[in-house]
A and B are shown apart, each in its own frame.
Chain A
Amino acid sequence: MNEILKVVLSLSLSGTLLILLLFLLRFWFKGRLSRQWQYYIWLVVVARLLFPFAPEANLMAMIFQGIDRAAEQTNTDSAYIQLGDAADIPQTGGTAGQNNLHREPAGTAESANRPMWKNLWIGWLVAALILFIRKITVYQDFVKYIRAGCVEVADIELLERFGKLVDQNRIKTTVELYTNNLISSPLLIGFFRPCIVLATADLPPADFDYTILHELMHFKRRDMFYKWLVQFAVCIHWFNPFVYLMSREIGRLCELSCDEAVIRELDAQGRRAYGDTLLNAIGAGGSYKDSLVSLTLNESKELLKERLDAIMNFTKKTRWGIFTALMLTVMIICGFAFSGAYAADAHNQASTDVGMDVVSLYTNSVEIIGFQQGEQTAAKDVALNITEDNVKIQLNAVVDGDSHRTLEVIAPNGEAVRTYTFNQDGFLSGSQEYIFGSDMIMVTDVVYPGTWHVRLSTNQTPAAETFVTAKLIDPFVWGFTSDTDISDEIGDEQEPDDSGDEQETDDSPLLTQMYDYYRTYEQTKDDIQNGYIVNTGVSFSVQAMPTVTGGGGTSFYVNHDNRINVSITLKNLIDGTGRDRWMPDSFVSLEVYDPSGKVAYSFYKEGTEIQDAVDIDTELAVYPGEWRYRISFAYTTNGTDLSDMRIALKYETIYEDDIQWLVDNKLNKIN
């Protein structure tokens, strides 16, 4: 709930900026713009104070997010300081023993730190409510008091005169006319059943007319609503001294603009008479003065003087045209938008745009999103503007143990196409990933142009750092390019077996993706139409260590007795066995399993054997049932000789239903 207070504070701050702006401009456009415009332009400020809407990039967002981060920092710092004194801190999940200062006790330390701040919003709300309710009750008392002393105007001539004025002003509601000798100046009371109350009905006819016209104009323009809206804003921002200045200024402009609206219709003589009326009104007796509650004809001598000046200097045409007024209005509305509001979101999102030239095909990976150690934020979101067709997003996440994160890749339509979870040991689980060492690499399918999002969220305070880098890759070159070379980054504690173990239990869709990384969606589609069950392969002209091991293979359903053409090409693959202790021994293997699970075809080469060129073209008989193929390999390339690895399985006879099955279950299952 403190979020609401933050919103209010940000609105207050940006509103104050606008108030100051308008006050500065006031001297400038005093005589040059109509009082009416000046009166209504303050609506923009009131709106800014009341409505938390703003475009994403705005001043308040920047200021307040900076404050947020600073606050988090001080919170974690103080949490750690407090924990230094605490006695035995029980270790949870004992292995990662670097820091003794950990999250669990941190929870209690934080809450001990914060109750005062957390409940500040209650103080604000209570004060605002009290002020507003008080205003309402004071108004109601006032109205009651006035009504009690009201005397109906019985003089039919006056009533008629009054009635005619009401008619002339095209007011459809019935307005009552009263006198009350307790008031000092004429009032308009009532929002929906309006009454005009005069101090006395014994006025020269001209004075009567102008007084009535003035009050009727207030009613016609619904000034009382505007006034109450302002009062509401004042109550909400009771702590801000500038809103009181604003309220007074708007009150002043209310009267001035009302005058202006009335004398617009009058000729020079009429205007003079109007001024006389204002002067005469000072003399009226009465004791009840309350400028908040009623719309009075004269507030103070200063105001009166200003009004008289304005009447004298009134010209039908203002010095600056409508165009200038419009321009100023637009400028001020921009000020409204830019000064902005704190976007208090349940997830405290900080959304930034990562442009195309940052995450692209032609640059190395760039860090796009991450959590600091112990950062309190619940979720972060970054937008990736992808304009290229035919690319895939490759994400690398660097995590330490105890991470507790969820990483999602979200398509422009809002659907999460990839979800990965980092658990407490830092390991990854989720859809379609490739794990290597402790650096997690995730590759999406071919992405279509649009604004994609990568979202990092957590349901616990992450004790360790995470950062995620992204780059775009060519769909058919998937391997380790120089900036994703893991050999520099792997820590000592990670066993290669772990990654192998992780993968063995993985299901086929993972590896299907792998092979299709070497083929674009379009190419796979064409392949399938041409009868290919799989047609994958890659050439490297750089040093690479392509490795795909484990997995259960990919199934494909055969509907008819048929033959499958098996073709395998290997060229310039280098045996990398033993080069690094984390690298698997080099090998290339293809297995095809029949519906009973027996191996129907097998190709296997390991170690130095893979360095011999291979060119196989053979056939395999198949019958209806669910078959499976599995392709695994690990080799290196030297970057000097162009390597080539191609594996294809193709139906000899193409049947529609076989093709359709592949389309449904292989091509389109990807997404």
Chain B
Amino acid sequence: MQQISDYELELMKIIWANGGTAFYAEIVKALEDKGTPWTKNTIITLLSRLANKGFLKASKTGFRNQYIAVVCETDYQEEQTKTLLEKLYEGSAKGLVSTLIQKDLLSSDDYDDLRKYWEGGGCGK
């Protein structure tokens, strides 16, 4: 899985939030709602970059362009986390968790959830 920029991630989030697929018009509206109304050139450039990287599939239904997410959010998160673990914690999750705790990055609720998740041993959602 390739790296995508922050802005490309924004677009992916919009598509994921829309149920994994979105029409161009819907993406434009969502961006406007978010307060970042990008120009058409920018949006399409980013979308085609995502398509080239294998994150999206573009299809044309009638006159409208539809973008379908190939990579789901959880996959992406998993990849990114793995990369993070490998890069910083030598692949050991323990290091990450201890940083989270030590640096007060985890709330107590989060900790409980995490514990349950950990002991549950499976992938979530």
Contact = CB atoms under 8 A, between A and B. Distances in A.
A175 interface: yes
Given A152-B49, A174-B48, A160 B42 contact: yes
B45 A156 contact: no
A294 B5 CA distance: 29
A159 B49 contact: no
Contact of A176 (B7, B38, B45): B45
A162 B7 CA distance: 15
Interface in A393-417: none
Interface in A135-155: 152, 154
Interface stretch (A163-171, A268-276, A368-376, A565-573): A163-171
A23 B49 CA distance: 47
B60 to A, nearest CB: 15
A174 B6 CA distance: 21
A217 interface: no
Contacts of A154: 5-7
Nearest to B53: A152
B39 A167 contact: yes
A174 B42 CA distance: 8
Contacts of A166: 39-41
A167 B41 contact: yes
A164 B37 CA distance: 12
B49 A163 contact: no
A637 to B, nearest CB: 90
Given A152-B49, A174-B48, A163 B41 contact: yes
A156 B41 contact: no
A164 B39 contact: yes
Contacts of A159: 7, 38, 41-42, 45-46
Contacts of A177: 45
Contacts of A156: 6-7, 38, 42
B44 interface: yes
A174 to B, nearest CB: 4
Contacts of B49: 152
Nearest to A168: B39
A166 B43 CA distance: 12
Contacts of B46: 159
B interface, how many residues as a size bin? 10 to 19
A176 B42 CA distance: 8
B38 to A, nearest CB: 6
Contacts of B41: 159, 162-163, 166-167, 174-175
Contacts of A176: 45, 48
B121 to A, nearest CB: 38
A162 B42 CA distance: 8
Contacts of B6: 154, 156
A152 B46 CA distance: 10
A166 B41 CA distance: 7
A527 to B, nearest CB: 76
Nearest to A171: B41
Contacts of A163: 38-42, 45
Interface string B4-17: 01110000000000
Nearest to A158: B42
Interface in B42-96: 42, 44-46, 48-49
Nearest to B8: A154
B39 A174 contact: no
Nearest to A174: B44
B45 A174 contact: yes
Nearest to A176: B45
A160 B48 contact: no
A175 B40 CA distance: 10
Question: Which of A152, A176, A177 neighbours the largest number of chain B CB atoms within 10 Å of its CB?
Answer: A152
A569 to B, nearest CB: 90
Contacts of B44: 174
A13 B49 CA distance: 50
Contacts of B40: 163, 166-167, 174
A152 B51 CA distance: 14
Nearest to B38: A160
Contacts of B39: 160, 163-164, 166-167
A177 B41 CA distance: 10
B28 to A, nearest CB: 13
Nearest to B36: A156
Nearest to B4: A154
A320 B41 CA distance: 39
A176 B46 CA distance: 9
Question: Which of A154, A162, A164 neighbours the largest number of chain B CB atoms within 10 Å of its CB?
Answer: A154
A152 B38 CA distance: 17
Contacts of B38: 156, 159-160, 163
Interface in A552-568: none
Contacts of A160: 38-39, 42
Question: Which of A156, A166, A175 neighbours the largest number of chain B CB atoms within 10 Å of its CB?
Answer: A156
A169 to B, nearest CB: 10
B52 to A, nearest CB: 10
A159 B43 CA distance: 9
Contacts of B5: 152, 154
A293 to B, nearest CB: 23
Nearest to B10: A156
A216 to B, nearest CB: 10
B8 to A, nearest CB: 8
A175 to B, nearest CB: 6
B88 to A, nearest CB: 22
A606 to B, nearest CB: 96
A175 B45 CA distance: 7
Nearest to A154: B5
Contacts of A162: 41-42
A360 B49 CA distance: 79
A164 B44 CA distance: 13
A152 B40 CA distance: 17
A338 to B, nearest CB: 48
A151 to B, nearest CB: 11
Nearest to B48: A174
A220 to B, nearest CB: 14
Nearest to A165: B41
A635 to B, nearest CB: 91
A150 to B, nearest CB: 11
Interface in A303-358: none
Interface of A: 152, 154, 156, 159-160, 162-164, 166-167, 174-177
The 10 closest A-B pairs by CB, nearest first: A163-B39, A163-B41, A163-B42, A154-B5, A166-B41, A174-B44, A159-B42, A156-B7, A164-B39, A160-B42
19 contacts: A152-B49, A156-B6, A156-B38, A159-B38, A159-B41, A159-B45, A159-B46, A160-B42, A163-B39, A163-B40, A163-B41, A164-B39, A166-B40, A166-B41, A167-B41, A174-B40, A174-B45, A176-B45, A177-B45
Given A154-B6, A159-B45, A160-B42, 17 more contacts: A152-B49, A154-B5, A154-B7, A156-B6, A156-B42, A159-B38, A159-B41, A159-B42, A159-B46, A162-B42, A163-B41, A163-B45, A166-B41, A167-B39, A174-B40, A174-B41, A176-B45
